Amino acid sequence: MVTYIAEAEFPFFSSTVRRVLKRHYLACYVHRSISKEIIAELVETTESDILTPSSDGGRNVIDFFEGPEPEDFLDGGYYTAVEKAILAALNFIDELRDLPQESLKAKYDEVKRRATERDSVRLIDGERNAFFHQPEAYADFAYWADVAGFTPEECVALMLGRDPRIVNSKSLSEAGGFSPFAQEFKDRLRKVERAVTMGELGVPVASRALAKWALRNGPAPDAAVTEWFQSLANSAVKPPPDDDQEKVGGPRSLYKLVVGMAMRNYGFKKNYIPDDKLESFQAITDDLASVGLNIDVKTVRKYLVDGMRLLQERGDFTK
C-alpha cells in the first residue's frame, strides 16, 4: 500500500528509480544524500523518464525546480530538482509508514478510487474520439441494402451500425489499446463465425438471412440499425434465375452438379445434419487433390451444405 500511494503522489518514483536508489542504499535511505553521480545514473537508467511530467497528476520533478528560466531545467538545472524530489518522496514514505493501519488503508482506498475514476474518464474520452465513432465510420444503409451478401466481418460491422470498409478487425487492431467497442466487435464476430460453422448462416451471408439472425441475436446499438434489419428481414425474396440464366450455367446449376455428384458417388444425403461428420467430405477433398486441385475440407463441407439448403428451399428435388 505504501509504494502504491507513494507512486500516486510522486509519479516519477517508479520501480526503476527505486532499484537505482537501493543500489546506493546507505547514501540514499540512511544518509539521505543524493549525489550528482546518483542523479546522472537515475536519468540514464530511466532514459530521462524521471524528468518527464506525468499526465496522471501528483508531484513531478519539475515541480521542485526553482530556476529563473524553464529552459534551464534540461540544461543541467534538474540536478537540484531531482535531489529535492527524491528526498520529498522518501520523507513521504516515512510518514506513511508511521500512520496507523486503519489510516493507511483509508488513504490507499482513496488513492485507488481516484485512479479508477481517472482511468474511466480517460477510457470514455478515448472511446469517444476513436475513429469508429466519427461520422464517416457510420454505415450508409441505403448503399449496403443493395449488397447481396456479406462476409462475417461485414456482418458484425453492420450489426454495430458501422461501415465495414472502415471498421474491421484490421483497423481496430491497428488502433491499439483496450476498447469496449473493439471487444464487442470481437465477441460478435465469434458468434457470427460460430453460426456459419453450425450452418445457421452461409458464406457469403445473404442480407435477409443476416437481418433475421441479427434481430434474434441483438441488441442493436440504436434504433436505426434495428429498423434497417427489420426492413431487410421483411423484404421480398428475389425470384430464382429464369430458364435462360440457368442455361448459361448460373450458381444454381453449379450447385445441382456438385450436390448431385456428391450424393451419387460420395454418400452425401438430403437429410444431412450440419453437426454430423461424414467421411465423404474428406474423400472429395482427397480425390480433388489427386488431380491437382487443392481445397480445404471445410470449404467442401460449406459449399455442399449451402448448395443442399438452396436446392431444397427452391424445390429442385423431384423425389
Beta bridge partners of 205: 150
* Tens of pLDDT, residues 115-137: 877 767 666 666 777 888 888 98
pLDDT at 249: 46
pLDDT at 244: 41
pLDDT at 121: 65
Mean pLDDT in consecutive groups of 10 residues from the start of the chain, 319 residues: 88 89 91 90 85 77 74 69 90 90 90 78 69 88 85 92 92 80 90 89 86 84 85 66 46 82 82 62 88 86 80 70
- Is the pTM higher than 0.85? The answer reads no
> What is the per-residue DSSP string for 290-311?
HTT----HHHHHHHHHHHHHHH
Q: What's the one-letter identity of residue 31? A: H
d(CA 233, CA 218): 14
pLDDT at 123: 63
With beta carbons less than 8 A apart as the criterion, state whether 129 and 38 touch: no
